[in-house]
């Protein structure tokens, strides 16, 4: 976390997050059979369904340097992020609820680390929706009346479109919504926070 400018998280780690020093990495082989490719450090995030029950577990595998794991099988680059749900469709509307809404305020972001950067940089309680699709589908509790959507500025435009679509839906639910976008394409709010931390350190 400290390498990404998120050192303060270690002191106030959200209950939805856990660290595993050697989590098995399973992947199907050419026959579709799950095989263990190794054990790696990993960041684990509990996904909570709209009704408050467990929806699944989001795993981010890390390398020894704490960057995201680069793992290959037969020349195929494998994902460093994996999602396991309690049942099919359980992740619909779910999010990693890092911090509860405060006085009606809640920030939303796609990635776990991005949401942590948003919380640390803005002081707003934040949820991570794991992906652009998760951000589009997230369902909020009635008490979240003032919502900040910290969108990724994707070069493809996906992050922006998803954020605006979500904002329209939430405004239709009588919530106040603000969409915030980094200035540069290809940048998310974790990048912005990291650059700010570097400048502060010089």
Pick the CATH number of 105-201 from 3.40.50.970, 3.40.1360.10, 3.30.365.10, 3.40.50.300: 3.40.1360.10
Determine the length of the chain: 202
pLDDT per residue over 51-96, tens digit each?
999 999 999 998 766 566 666 555 567 788 899 999 999 999 999 9
How far is residue 162's CA from residue 183's CA, in Å, rounded to a whole number? 17
Residue 10 carries which DSSP code?
A: G
Structural domain boundaries in the chain: 2-85, 105-201
Kind of pairing between the strands at 105-109 and 146-150: parallel
pLDDT per residue over 131-178, tens digit each?
999 999 999 999 999 999 999 999 899 999 999 999 999 999 999 999
pLDDT per residue over 126-138, tens digit each?
999 999 999 999 9
Radius of gyration of the chain (CA): 17
């Amino acid at each position: 976390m400290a390498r990404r400018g998120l050192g303060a998280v270690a002191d106030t780690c959200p209950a939805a997050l856990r660290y595993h020093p050697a989590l098995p990495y399973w992947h199907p082989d050419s026959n579709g059979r799950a095989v263990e490719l190794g054990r790696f450090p990993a960041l684990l995030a509990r996904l909570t369904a709209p009704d408050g029950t467990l929806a699944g577990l989001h795993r981010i595998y890390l390398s020894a340097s704490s960057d995201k794991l680069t793992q290959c099988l037969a020349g195929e680059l494998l994902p460093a992020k994996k999602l396991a749900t309690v049942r099919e469709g359980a992740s619909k509307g779910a999010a990693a609820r890092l911090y509860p809404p405060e006085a009606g305020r809640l920030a939303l972001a796609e990635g776990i680390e991005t949401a942590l950067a948003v919380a640390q940089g803005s002081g707003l309680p934040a949820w991570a929706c794991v992906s652009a699709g998760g951000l589009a589908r997230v369902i909020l509790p009635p008490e979240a009346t003032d919502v900040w959507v910290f969108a990724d500025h994707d070069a493809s435009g996906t992050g922006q479109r998803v954020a605006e679509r979500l904002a329209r839906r939430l405004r239709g639910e009588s919530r106040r919504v603000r969409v915030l976008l980094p200035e540069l394409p290809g940048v998310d709010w974790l990048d912005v926070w990291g650059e700010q931390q570097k400048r502060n350190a010089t």
